[in-house]
Chains A and B, each alone.
Chain A
Amino acid sequence: QKEVEQDPGPLSVPEGAIVSLNCTYSNSAFQYFMWYRQYSRKGPELLMYTYSSGNKEDGRFTAQVDKSSKYISLFIRDSQPSDSATYLCAMSAGGGTSYGKLTFGQGTILTVHP
């Protein structure tokens, strides 16, 4: 079983739709939760990060973490064609030998069509 599971999609939505992206994980030591956006043949770009459980909002993006269920989500409101990319969740346990080490999900390919 992978430590982080993410539905690879692909996910296709019309412009303006609300997009929900999700990841589940098995390692209860994970404390830091990140969402990255990756365009084709480019490196990942950090969208949001959350420490422990809770919600965080930044513009059209909302990240949610439910540690009790080992489940995280990213919501994109009013999706735009420019949001078309691969979205990766990433997690980290924090200190000690895990300091800075990220475990990524497989990535979800999102296409927003006009």
Chain B
Amino acid sequence: GAVVSQHPSWVICKSGTSVKIECRSLDFQATTMFWYRQFPKQSLMLMATSNEGSKATYEQGVEKDKFLINHASLTLSTLTVTSAHPEDSSFYICSASTSGIQYEQYFGPGTRLTVT
């Protein structure tokens, strides 16, 4: 149980275009989803927290207009990187939680974004 999927697993896009990443909880309802970013050999950095049906809460320094997060249902959250640039190239990982309890976050396999 507690499986989280992400799609796509890998995407290449041209600079200036937008790309959408989906995060799904497959066998449970996720009231809270978290989006992280991970650079090579660096740790996961929390970008935003989203609760179903409400606006996402962004961490300091994360541009909300660039990283659009939508949590439209209890099993799906999307992250859209708008007007992507090479510096947005990274590994994006989501996690999902039924309760928001710290240790009950289940992580997706991640999406590798490369912007050329």
Residues of A near any B CB (own CB < 8 A): 4, 6, 8, 32, 34, 36, 41-46, 49, 88, 92, 94, 99-107
Contact = CB atoms under 8 A, between A and B. Distances in A.
A29 to B, nearest CB: 13
Contacts of B41: 8, 106-107
Q: Name the 9 nearest CB pairs between A and B, nearest first.
A: A43-B107, A49-B103, A100-B100, A92-B102, A32-B102, A104-B43, A104-B44, A106-B43, A43-B109
A1 B88 CA distance: 24
B75 interface: no
B80 to A, nearest CB: 20
Interface of B: 4, 6, 32, 34, 41-46, 49, 91, 93, 95, 97, 100-103, 105-110, 112
Nearest to B93: A43
A26 to B, nearest CB: 15
Given A88-B43, A107-B43, A44 B107 contact: yes
B102 A43 contact: no
Main secondary structure of the interface of B (DSSP, over half): strand
**B44, B46, B102, B107 interface centre (most CB from chain A within 10 Å):** B102
B110 A41 contact: yes
Given A100-B32, A102-B46, A106-B42, A34 B4 contact: no
Contacts of A46: 103, 105-106
A106 B42 CA distance: 5
Contacts of A94: 102
Nearest to A97: B57
A47 B22 CA distance: 25
Contacts of B91: 41
B12 to A, nearest CB: 15
B110 A99 contact: no
28 contacts: A4-B43, A6-B43, A32-B102, A34-B102, A34-B103, A36-B107, A41-B91, A41-B110, A42-B109, A42-B110, A43-B93, A43-B109, A44-B93, A46-B105, A46-B106, A88-B44, A92-B102, A100-B34, A100-B100, A100-B101, A100-B102, A101-B46, A101-B49, A102-B44, A102-B105, A105-B43, A106-B42, A106-B43
